[in-house]
Amino acid sequence: MEPDSPTIPKSTLTDILFVLFLRLIAIACFWLGLQYWSMLVGYSLAGQARFDLLNLPWKVAGAGLAVVFPVAALGLWLTVSWGPVIWVLAAGSQALMYGLWPQIFGSNPLIVILHAGVAVLYCIFRILLWLEKRRREQQVMVDLP
């Protein structure tokens, strides 16, 4: 015998697309983390950006982002609440690096634009999910036969 009212609501298209969006961003974060690790250990850039050859700002930024991006990727992939928070820290740090201090880290407006675009898309998804939740709560549920 099946219960009359299922306890788990069905996933909507917005829910599915939001999880897909988070997982795509998680893959990108993992890739960025791998890029920082490969830079710091001398695998990329012909070994010219090894940790021991970098100046102090790059040592701090590179080591921090090499750790924070994979952690953000894990949180986003698992769709836990702390994933986007860690992503904001990582993306914000990188946007500050290339947007606010280009004389130290160089200029990379594309990374700033991409992070801003992801943040806007995330906000749009959260608004859509909130509207769906509100609409679902306003629907009248009748359990009478």
Q: Which two tokens stand for residue 49?
A: 């950006």
Residue carrying structure tokens 């359990």 = 143
Q: Distances in Å between the alpha carbon of 105 and those of 8, 20, 95?
A: 48, 32, 11
pLDDT at 143: 65
pLDDT at 44: 84
Instruction: Give the burial string for 4-31 (b: 16+ CB within 10 Å, else e).
Output: eeeeeeeeeeeeeebeebbeebbebbbe
26 close to 73: Cβ distance less than 8 angstroms: yes
Coil/strand/helix, residue 106: coil
Q: Nearest-CA neighbor of 112 among 100, 95, 96?
A: 95
Domain boundaries, the chain: 13-143
Segment-wise mean pLDDT, segments of 10 residues, the chain, 145 residues = 65 94 98 95 86 92 96 97 97 95 94 96 97 84 64
pLDDT at 45: 81
CA distance 38 to 66: 9
pLDDT at 63: 95
Amino acid letter, residue 83: G
